[in-house]
Every structure is written in C-alpha cells, then in structure tokens.
Amino acid sequence: MSERRGDGEGPGVKAIVTVMLKDGVLDPQGRAIAHALHALEFAQVGDVRVGKVIEIELAEADADRAHAAAEEMARKLLANTVIEGFRVRIEA
Amino acid sequence: MSERRGDGEGPGVKAIVTVMLKDGVLDPQGRAIAHALHALEFAQVGDVRVGKVIEIELAEADADRAHAAAEEMARKLLANTVIEGFRVRIEA
C-alpha cells in the first residue's frame, strides 16, 4: 500500500473521502445494481446508491490539518460539488 | 432516496458495502489521483487507492441477517473477488 509516499516521511494518517451523488440526482448505476439484485432474488433490496471512496495516505501527523487538507482535495478534485456530496474520515 | 422499495415494507436498515482492489493489485485510477493531487501542490499525499461504495436499503429488521445478505450480494454481484476485497457495514 505504501510504495509511494509524499515528500514528508514519518508519522501519517489515512484520509477516507466518500463521494456520493446528492439526493435527488438520478443514479443510473445504483438503479442497475438494484435491478440486478432483484433478478438474483434479493427481494428485500430497496433503493441503491453508488459512490466512490478514495483512501489517501497523508504524511501529516495532525488529524485536524489532515481533515482540512482532505476536504480541500475533495472540493478541488475528487468531487463534482454541483451534483456530488462528500464526507471525510481520518484514520490514524 | 426511497422511491423504490423491495417487496417487504416496514423497518429496514442500510447496508454499506465498500469494494476496494486488493493490496498488490495495481490501481491506475488511484495513481492518477495521486499525481493530480501532487500537481495541485498537496505534497503530503502518498499512496491513493480508489474503490466503490454501494449503499443498499434493505427491508430487513435484523442486522445480522442484513449483514449476511449484503455479504452474499457482494460475493455474487458487487465485487470481483479475484482482484477485489469488500467490507460490509450495517446502519440502522
């Protein structure tokens, strides 16, 4: 998992950014999965939504600064904030 | 979020299935994101891995049975278990 590192070495955290389409935005991939699950006789399946998860190793010991950096990455690159929302979790 | 429901109505849970490439499987999308983040001067970024998250509404009140069903869905449809691993979380 750590074949590449940023410029800083030493203690770090993992930022986990989850990007989902906003409520109300049609999710055709989720709908296709719901149909396929029904075809597999998972009758208990209701709505399905599909998103991305991006796990980022950060050479940053401070969790608050790691969280702020990951939010900036999500806004600038990882999420299309017109149609997508995101949440950030930091793991030690 | 709940315009479609399975056959069962009533109390339900949400199963959150996260599918990631296994360690050691090359993740070109993650590598591309790492490069893009470096270009945006996020020098603290190390390894990046990208996966899918599938949120499934289940008309199933029992968390253990919901977990077992979601694992079966992951094995049968959501993950390619040759190259991908998955984890399941149940939210009330």
Structural domain including B63 reads 13-91
- Does residue B34 form part of some domain? yes
Q: Which CATH number goes with the domain that contains A78?
A: 3.30.1280.10
DSSP category for residue B40 = T
- Cα B48 from chain centroid? 16
- Does residue A25 form part of some domain? yes
- Does residue A66 form part of some domain? yes
Which residue ranges in chain B fall short of pLDDT 70?
1-10
Give the pLDDT of residue B92.
87
Give the pLDDT of residue A10.
57
Which chain B residues are Cβ-neighbours of A43 within 8 angstroms? 6-8
- Does residue B2 form part of some domain? no
- Does residue A55 form part of some domain? yes
Give the pLDDT of residue A56.
98
Size of interface A-B (CB pairs under 8 A): 148
The total domain count for chain A is: 1
Do the Cβ atoms of B33 and A7 come within 8 Å?
no
Give the pLDDT of residue A7.
45
Give the pLDDT of residue B10.
57
Chain B residue nearest residue A23, CA to CA: B1
Task: Output the 3-class SS for chain A.
Answer: CCCCCCCCCCCCEEEEEEEEECCCCCCHHHHHHHHHHHHCCCCCEEEEEEEEEEEEEECCCCHHHHHHHHHHHHHHHHCCCCCEEEEEEEEC
- Does residue B62 form part of some domain? yes
In the block, tokens 């699950």 appear at A37
Report helix, strand or coil for B46: strand
- Does residue A2 form part of some domain? no
Nearest to B46 among A6, A54, A72 (CB): A6
Give the pLDDT of residue B39.
98
Q: What angle do CA B15, B66, A28 make, to 5 degrees?
A: 40
- Does residue A5 form part of some domain? no
Average pLDDT of each block of 10 consecutive residues along chain A (92 residues)?
Answer: 44 95 96 98 97 97 96 98 97 90
